[in-house]
Amino acid sequence: MNLDENVSDDIRWERAEKELIRSYFDNKKSGFFVEIGANEPLSENSQSWHLESQIGWKGILVEPNPRLAEKARISRPGSLIFESACVSPANEGVINLYIPLVNDDEVTGHAAIRKNIDDFSYQNHKVVNVKARTLNSILEEAAVGTIDILTIDVEGAELEVLRGLDIEKYKPGLILLEDKHVYLDKHRYLKKHDYQLVKRTTLNCWYVPKGAKVPYQSLSEKIRLWKRMYLSIWLKKIKHAMRSKSIEPFSKF
């Protein structure tokens, strides 16, 4: 891989991950993406911009933060933009979006539908009322057929997104899911719906339908992922419980 030596390690890994994603789809030119939690639409962290800008894919961006959704409408006119949080059917309507504040600056990348839901410990938040709807309703409105890649990065509320999706109907070819593995509920949910975990890059787990093409994963990668999910998870629970002064990490698995 041709990685720029003048950039940070984090950016190198981000670019390497995206090259692997394009390679997994054989760099095909006619794909369709759905990105839940679009955040900064042109940043290195965007899981869809490289697909749109480098190989011409089309797709949907879902972002509840009004400021970032407006930025997406301006900078990504080739994509369909939905200003909404994605939730389960029981939580549709209007909900609070909590945006952490550090020295009065917004940490937009850690905004969530519940305070510190994703193993954070921010003390101050800006609260914004945002529309909340299921991913199904968005896909139906956009008349979506095939989804090549569904990426979900919503700071701990990924299961809410999944519960609002008819997985059997849309059957994304690849689900890229951010997961810190304090809990295994998202993993179990996807296994129940016949998806298998086949790789992990940066903070993202790769899930594909059973029987689908599997990306290359070395033996050492497989061992590290197994240890992360079934051994290291206990250390993560202890750390999270101590930081939050709560036994919640041990209340579910």
pLDDT digits (tens, 9 = 90+) for 92-151: 999 999 998 998 888 888 888 888 776 677 788 899 999 999 999 999 999 999 999 999
Lowest mean per-residue pLDDT among 8-12, 167-171, 183-187, 196-200: 8-12
Q: How confident is the model at residue 205 (pLDDT cuts 50, 70, 90)?
A: very high
DSSP E strand stretches across 70-119: 80-82, 85-86, 93-102, 105-106
What one-character DSSP code corresponds to residue 94?
Answer: E
Q: How confident is the model at residue 237 (pLDDT cuts 50, 70, 90)?
A: low
Q: Does the predicted TM-score (pTM) go above 0.85?
A: yes
Q: How confident is the model at residue 180 (pLDDT cuts 50, 70, 90)?
A: confident
Owner of token pair 């409408």: 73
Residue ranges per structural domain of the chain: 9-250
Reported as type and span, the H/E element at residue 178 is: strand 174-178
Instruction: Look at the domain 9-250 and name its fold.
Output: Rossmann fold (3.40.50)
SS3 call for 131: strand
- Quick: pLDDT tens for 16-58: 999 999 999 999 999 999 999 999 999 999 999 999 999 999 9
Average pLDDT, the chain: 90
Q: Give per-residue burial for 16-36: e unless 16+ CB within 10 Å, then b.
A: ebbbebbebbeeeeebbbbbb
